[in-house]
Structure 1
Amino acid sequence: MIENRNSIPRWVSLIYRYGQMYIGEHLKKYDIGRGQHIFINALYKEDGLTQEELADYLKIDKGTTAKALKKLEEQGYITRTVSKKDKRCNEVHLTEKALLIKGDVRKVLTDWRERLTFGLSDEEKQLALTILEKMGNNASRFAEEQVEP
């Protein structure tokens, strides 16, 4: 049976996929993959995070994080060095190459957000944000619970 067209998960998934397509297409010239821009953007906010901190902040498993960072490192956008504070951790730093495209990356993300909220009043934008935040918190809480067989 096909899921109801008015399903919240369907719309969240659709928005996510369209966003990945839009952002991926606009960052293609930099050879940044669909799932990699989130790591660069997180480092624009706070450079020098460890791989574990990035994975935790973005809620992405450590294996996927390691693969994405490996590709970004091979492309020259980041460097990974052993942390001086904790030798078991790698700190991730942006390179000059990544800093040179910061404005373009941020513009693509801002443009997507503006397109996504086109025609919404400030009140509607705030309401949408409040609702999505509550839904995100619910998802986080329930995802961490043990699933009964």
Structure 2
Amino acid sequence: MKNEVLREVGMLARCIQSISDIKFREIKLQRGQFIFLTRICECPGVNLVELSNILKVDKATTTKAVQKLMDENYVRRERGNDDKRMWHLFPSAKAKEAYSYIIQEENQNIESCFNGFNLEEKEAVFQLLKKMRENIEQDWKELKNFKEERE
């Protein structure tokens, strides 16, 4: 059973990722960029480190994705007022328009995933997945800190 749970979660994530990648090609978003774009729209002014932590990815991955979003005029960056070395990310008008479409598609995926579930089952799934994420997040933080200390 242990392996089966993670395999199911992985298959669910890959299905949603594939659907999203295909649908978002028409708005010139490449593989997985939509998750970066949505978080920048939801957290205007976020910096690269914060964005990496929110999404649980390394800074190099975030940097590449953000650069591509900037190349497509979805994101603009501004230097921080307090720390001139820090860049803050903001959504463009194009990003805000795309964000509405992305959220609409995400909601459609959620509806599809929850087909045949009652309200209590939906809430239970959410709470259980949240608890699983919180549990593994601690391991992720420890490993991330260990890696950063070695670098």
- Look up the equivalent residue of 2:34 and give its one-letter code: H
Q: Is the 8 A contact 1:78 1:98 kept in 2?
A: yes
Mapping 1:114-129, distance limit 5 Å = 114-129=111-126
Query: Does the 8 Å CA contact 2:66/2:75 hold for their aligned counterparts?
Result: yes
Match of 1:12 among 9, 14, 17: 9
Write the deviation string for residues 7-34 of structure 1: whole angstroms up to 9, x where unpaired.
Answer: 1110010001001011111111011123
User: In the alignment, what sits opposite 1:88?
Assistant: 85
Distance in structure 2 (CA, Å) of the matches to 1:72 and 1:56: 18
Letter of the 2:14 partner, please give it: R
**Secondary structure of 2:90's match?**
strand
Instruction: Give aligned-pair identity as a percent.
Output: 28
Contact 1:52-1:89 at 8 Å conserved across structures? no
Q: 1:143 to 1:102 in 2, by over 3 A?
A: closer
In structure 2, distance between residues paired with 1:118 and 1:76? 36
Equivalent in 60, 63, 66 of residue 57 of structure 2: 60
TM-score normalised by the chain length of structure 2: 0.88
Unmatched 5+ residue regions in structure 2?
147-151
Equivalent position amino acid for 1:87 in 2: K
Partner of 2:137: 140
Quick check: which one's helix share is greater?
Answer: 2
Q: Which runs of 5+ in 1 are unaligned?
A: none
Shift of 1:118: 1.2
User: Does residue 98 of structure 1 match 2:70?
Assistant: no
AA aligned to 2:79 is: V
Alignment pair present for 1:108 and 2:105: yes
2:142, 2:39 → 1: CA distance?
Answer: 27
Q: Please say if residues 19 and 112 of structure 1, whose CA atoms lie closer than 8 Å, have aligned partners that are also in contact.
A: yes
| Aligned residue number for residue 29 of structure 1 | 26
Taking only aligned residues, the RMSD between alpha carbons, in angstroms, comes to 1.8
Q: How many residues align?
A: 144
Partner Cα separation in structure 2 for residue 104 and residue 60 of structure 1 = 24
Cα deviation code 1:64-121 (max 9, x no counterpart): 0000000000011001221112222110011111122222111111111111111111
